[in-house]
């Protein structure tokens, strides 16, 4: 039977400094790297030493153009001759280089080897979080790999929330921030950010929105597709690539955020504004239950009619249901949407953040 190691850390824990190696492969989007960068940066700002190894570091030119003390970002291949740190994080099943694993096994004090998994609200996350996988063969024979699952409750690994984040959201002046960049709203306009996959159903969304919207389009297919689809009373602006901090501030400054994948999905929840999530499409249909599990959690306790409408809108946006009048009704019910977004954020903020839990988890896994 696998062993479990998933107790929650307490917020006041302050573990001794450890050195961290975080491995990431870029598959078809930059969301994985975005998550890894946020984690590595958060660890460094808490006083840890972090190395981020990635096979494509080019997006860091816009994600994080300035150096972060304590954080080193290095090409994946350079890890082949590196000495492992105290904690090795293998993100999203990226499979560590065999020479690096062999070096881990050769250390007199074995590093904590942690596989950081994808975020989900599905029930298997609670069952799988903290399980150990002993390595009986290969270059890592004798090591233990631990599975760490982000999630939305205290029986999981939590969400990345750096210290001071919610205070920064509260202090942010969204209209002034946007206006300073030439993205100001006109009288009576509401503002949304749009970050979407190419298959997003843009035409029915714009029809459901109605007039009075400024759409701020993040880089991607939407920048070329949306202008020809705009309805009367709608306008759009194409945005440049933003740093991660800049993207956070964009989310804080909008009345509605349309996000995708994992990194922007989590950051939109901390913004406390109504959010539509476009989940990563999977050919086997696994994205459907994943969306429903999140909606079950995030809409628990919400006002009945609005919650029903918002669920219909979320399904339609993901191609999992029809566009009905309920979708447009959900977008018009802003007070209910804002109230639920704030209530959900407060519920998440009452939990220990992912980095704190991961630090404590790594210490337990290494026997420190």
Q: Active-site residues: which are they?
A: 32, 262
Long-range contacts of 291-300 (CB under 8 A, 24+ apart): 291/315, 291/318, 291/320, 293/120, 293/121, 293/122, 293/123, 294/120, 294/121, 294/152, 296/121, 297/121, 297/152, 297/153, 298/121, 298/152, 298/340, 298/344, 299/340
Question: Residue 343: which residues within 8 A CB-CB, separation 6 or more?
Answer: 301, 302
Give which of 323, 312, 310 is closest to 203, Cα–Cα. 323
CA dist 253 → 169, 171, 264 (Å): 9, 11, 14
Helix (H) or strand (E) holding 71: strand 71-75
CA dist 66 → 22, 53, 60, 73, 126 (Å): 19, 17, 9, 12, 37
Q: How many CB atoms lie within 10 A of CB 95?
A: 10
Helix (H) or strand (E) holding 112: strand 112-116
- What are 249's two structure tokens? 């501030």
CA distance 19 to 82: 13
Give which of 158, 146, 2, 9 is closest to 87, Cα–Cα. 146
CA distance 312 to 315: 5
């Amino acid at each position: 039977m696998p062993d479990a190691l998933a107790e929650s850390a307490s917020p006041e824990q302050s573990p001794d400094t450890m050195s961290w190696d975080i491995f990431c492969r870029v598959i078809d989007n930059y969301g994985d790297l975005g998550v890894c960068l946020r984690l590595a940066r958060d660890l460094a700002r808490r006083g840890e030493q972090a190395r981020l190894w990635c096979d494509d570091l080019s997006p860091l030119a816009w994600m994080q153009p300035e150096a972060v003390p304590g954080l080193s970002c290095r090409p994946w291949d350079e890890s082949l001759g590196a000495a492992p740190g105290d904690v090795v994080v293998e993100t999203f099943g990226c499979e560590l280089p065999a020479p690096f694993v062999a070096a881990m096994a050769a250390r007199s004090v074995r590093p904590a080897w942690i596989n950081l998994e994808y975020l989900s609200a599905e029930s298997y996350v609670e069952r799988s979080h903290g399980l150990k996988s002993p390595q009986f063969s290969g270059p890592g024979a004798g090591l233990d790999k631990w599975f760490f699952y982000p999630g939305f409750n205290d029986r999981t690994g939590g969400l990345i929330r750096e210290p001071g984040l919610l205070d920064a959201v509260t202090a942010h002046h969204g209209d002034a921030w946007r206006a300073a960049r030439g993205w100001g709203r006109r009288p009576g306009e509401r503002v949304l950010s749009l970050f979407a996959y190419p298959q997003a159903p843009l035409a029915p969304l714009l029809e459901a929105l109605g007039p009075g919207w400024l759409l701020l389009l993040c880089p991607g297919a939407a920048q070329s597709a949306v202008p020809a689809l705009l309805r009367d009373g709608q306008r759009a602006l194409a945005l440049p690539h933003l740093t991660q901090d800049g993207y956070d501030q964009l989310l804080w400054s909008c009345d509605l955020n349309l996000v995708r994948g994992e990194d922007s999905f989590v950051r939109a929840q901390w913004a406390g504004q109504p959010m539509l999530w476009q989940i990563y499409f999977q050919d086997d249909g696994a994205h459907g239950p994943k969306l429903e599990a999140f909606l079950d959690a995030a809409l628990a306790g919400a006002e009945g009619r609005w919650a029903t409408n918002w669920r219909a809108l979320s399904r339609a946006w993901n191609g999992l249901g029809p566009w009905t009048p309920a979708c447009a009704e959900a977008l018009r019910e802003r007070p209910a949407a804002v109230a639920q977004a704030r209530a959900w954020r407060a519920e998440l903020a009452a939990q220990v953040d992912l980095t704190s839990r991961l630090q404590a988890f790594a210490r337990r896994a290494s026997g420190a």
